[in-house]
Amino acid sequence: MTKRASADANWWQSREMRPYLVKSISRFNEARVYSDEGAEIKACETILGGLDALRAGLDACQDDGGEGRAGLLDELLVAVEDDQAVCRIDLPFLWGLIERLFDYPVNRLAIYGTLRRGGANHRIIEHIAGEWTEGFVCGRIEEYYGFPFFVWNAEGSKIAVEVLSSSELCESWERIDRFEGVWYHRNLIPVYDSADNILFIANIYCKSGMMCNPGLLHR
């Protein structure tokens, strides 16, 4: 069953926060690339830059949030303001903080291509029990060798997606990543409703930097 979600009030969903949110997510996606390449220090530095962008947005918007959010922001501020943070904070801690700040996007996958229900490769995820939601992401679709590739652009066109929300995704990411291969890279992305409100942050498979090497196609 497909659910049409509506946006709940959340500290990072306000329109005033949107530029800072986009900047922070871009940094987190960049950090994931560094992490995959084994450049842990560079990944930590980049994540801290993304957290700094969130802090700047909160300072600018002067949103007063709730107690739960305040506790997370205390951790965020400690991580960003400590000059020695890169030396003392490991990647699992930082990724865990991002998950908590964005309400666990690890449990959400935004789908635009062949993994959709009824799509040619839906079998890869059909065993995962969860809730399906309709939404939109901003960017464009490019096609290479018959496959669609999403490119994120916060100012781009709205592209319809189906979002699978499931705690079972945590146990499936490695297998889905292997299936998607090096031509795709899993990134974080805001998902919107038809009124341009942010519903939540999800994972999505985007065109990777390896697309320049056609010899890497594997499926």
Cα 172 vs. chain centroid, distance in angstroms?
Answer: 16
| Predicted pLDDT of residue 98 | 92
| Predicted pLDDT of residue 56 | 87
7 in a structural domain: no
Q: What separation in angstroms does the CA of 42 have from each of 26, 31, 47, 71, 156?
A: 15, 7, 9, 27, 29
Task: With a cut of 50, say whether residue 66 has pLDDT above it.
Answer: no
- Reported confidence tier of residue 57, pLDDT bands at 50, 70, 90: confident
- Reported confidence tier of residue 7, pLDDT bands at 50, 70, 90: very low
Q: What separation in angstroms does the CA of 23 have from each of 59, 64, 180, 219?
A: 15, 21, 26, 33
pTM: 0.85
Are the C-beta atoms of 166 and 131 separated by less than 8 Å? yes
| Predicted pLDDT of residue 68 | 47
Residues 98 and 111 in one domain: no
* Residues in Cβ contact with 186 at an 8 Å cutoff, skipping those fewer than 6 apart: 32, 173, 176, 177, 180, 203, 204, 205, 206
Q: Poorest-confidence range of 55-59, 63-67, 195-199, 204-208? A: 63-67
User: Would you state the structure tokens that stand for residue 185, as one six-digit string?
Assistant: 């890279």
Domain boundary among 63, 85, 103: 103
The single-letter DSSP state of residue 13 is: -
Domain boundary among 38, 69, 103: 103
Task: With a cut of 50, say whether residue 6 has pLDDT above it.
Answer: no
> What stretches of 63-146 adopt beta strand conformation (E)?
108-111, 131-144
Question: pLDDT tens digits, residue range 40-56?
Answer: 999 999 999 999 898 88
Domain that holds residue 201: 106-216
Residues 144 and 208 in one domain: yes
> What stretches of 40-112 adopt beta strand conformation (E)?
108-111
Candidates 100, 148, 114, 107; CA nearest to 128 is 107
| Number of structural domains in the chain | 2
Question: pLDDT tens digits, residue range 74-108?
Answer: 566 665 555 455 555 688 989 998 999 999 999 99
3 in a structural domain: no
Distance CA 215, CA 40 (A): 28
Residues 155 and 198 in one domain: yes
- Whole-number CA gyration radius for the chain: 17
CATH assignment of the domain containing 125? 3.10.490.10
Mean pLDDT of the chain: 85
Residues 116 and 84 in one domain: no
Domain boundary among 74, 103, 132: 103
Residues 113 and 171 in one domain: yes
Question: pLDDT tens digits, residue range 17-47?
Answer: 999 999 999 999 999 999 999 999 999 999 9
| Predicted pLDDT of residue 55 | 85
Distance CA 30, CA 42 (A): 10
Task: With a cut of 90, say whether residue 185 has pLDDT above it.
Answer: yes
Length, in residues, of the chain: 219
Residues 67 and 130 in one domain: no
